[in-house]
Amino acid sequence: MATQIRLWDLEMINRAKLGHIGGDFSVTDILTTLYGAVLNVDPTNPTDPERDRFILSKGHTAGALYSTLAYCGFFPQAELATFAQALSPLNGHPNRTKVPGVETNTGPLGHGFPVAVGHALAAKLQGSPRRTFVVMGDGEMQEGSNWEAAMTAAHYELSSVTAIIDRNRLQQGAGTEDTKTLEPFPDKLASFGFEVRDIPGHDFAALLLATQPSTTGKPVAVIANTVKGKGVSFMENRVEWHHKVPSDEQVTQAVQELTNA
C-alpha cells in the first residue's frame, strides 16, 4: 500500500510540476498505518457522525493524502491525474468541501491541531467513543497555536486525541534545529501533559502500537522519527526536496528504487 501511494504521488507531482514530495514520502507510512489498520472510517459513508476524525495539519503534503484516499476508495484513482489542475478538487492543499474524506481545510501551519482538539472535545461532550488523529510537521511545532492546543487537550483530559509529529528534522529551507530548537522534544510534550511515544516512523509495527488508545488517560503525542524523501536515495534527508519537482530521468530512477525496495 505504501509503495503504491508513493508511486501515485510521484506521478502526480511529475505531471503537475509542483508539490511537496519530500514531506509526502516521509508521512506516507504514517498515513498507510492509519488508513490501513487504525482509523474507523468508511469510504462509502465518509460523513458518518461516529467516524474517527483524521486531520492532515501539514496540508502541503496533500499529494500523499489524496493518494491514500484514492487507494482506500474515497474517490476513483483516475482523479489523481487532475492534481493541481485548473478547477480540480485536488488542490495543492486539501479542501473538505471538495474531497471526500478530508475533515478540514489545511495549509496555514498551526491550524490542524487546534481543530483536532475541538473535535476531541466535542466527542467527549457527546459521550462518543470516536477518536481524533492529527498529523503535523515538526517545523510546524514552532507555531504557538499548537502549544495552546496542547495545553487545552491536557486540561480537558482528551485521551481520544492522538497528535502525530512527522519528525523528519527538515523544514522549508533548513533543518528544524537550525531554525528553532525543538529538543528535548519528548520532554517538552510530556511537560504539557501528554503520553509521549517516541518511535521509528517507518516501522509499521511501531506505528501500529503507537496509534493505539491512551493507556494513561492523557492525550497521546507520537513522535514519528522519519526520513524526508523516504524510499528514494537522491531525495532522502535533502532539504531541497521540500518542494523540488523531479525530472523525467529522476522519476524513472525513483520508480525503480521504490518498486525494487
DSSP state of 213: P
DSSP character at residue 45:
S
DSSP lists the bridge partners of residue 167 as 225
d(CA 182, CA 247): 34
| pLDDT tens for each residue of the chain, 261 residues long | 999 999 999 999 999 999 999 999 999 999 999 999 999 999 999 999 999 999 999 999 999 999 999 999 999 999 999 999 999 999 999 999 999 999 999 989 999 999 999 999 999 999 999 999 999 999 999 999 999 999 999 999 999 999 999 999 999 999 999 999 999 999 999 999 999 999 999 999 999 999 999 999 999 999 999 999 999 999 999 999 999 999 999 999 999 999 998
**Structural contact between residues 172 and 140, judged by C-beta atoms closer than 8 angstroms:** no
- For residues 186 and 224, the answer to whether their CB atoms sit within 8 Å is no
pLDDT at 101: 98
Please state, in angstroms and as integers, the Cα–Cα distance from residue 231 to each residue in 5, 10, 66, 149, 202, following that order: 12, 11, 19, 33, 10
State the amino acid at position 181 in one-letter form: T
pLDDT given at position 77: 97
Residue 179 is placed in which grid cell? Answer: 531554525
| Domains identified in the chain and CATH numbers | 2-260 (3.40.50.970)
Residue 261's pLDDT is 83
Strands 174-175 and 195-200: unpaired
Q: What is the pLDDT of residue 94?
A: 97
Query: Distance (Å, rounded) from C-alpha 38 to C-alpha 33?
Result: 7
Task: Give the closest residue to 21 by CA, choosing from 225, 235, 200, 221.
Answer: 235
Is 221:193 a contact under the CB 8 Å cutoff? no
What is the b/e burial string over 197-233, where b = at least 16 CB atoms within 10 angstroms of the residue's CB? bbbebbebebbeebbeebeeebbbbbbbbbbbbbbbe
The residue among 50, 31, 40, 41 whose CA lies nearest residue 122 is 50
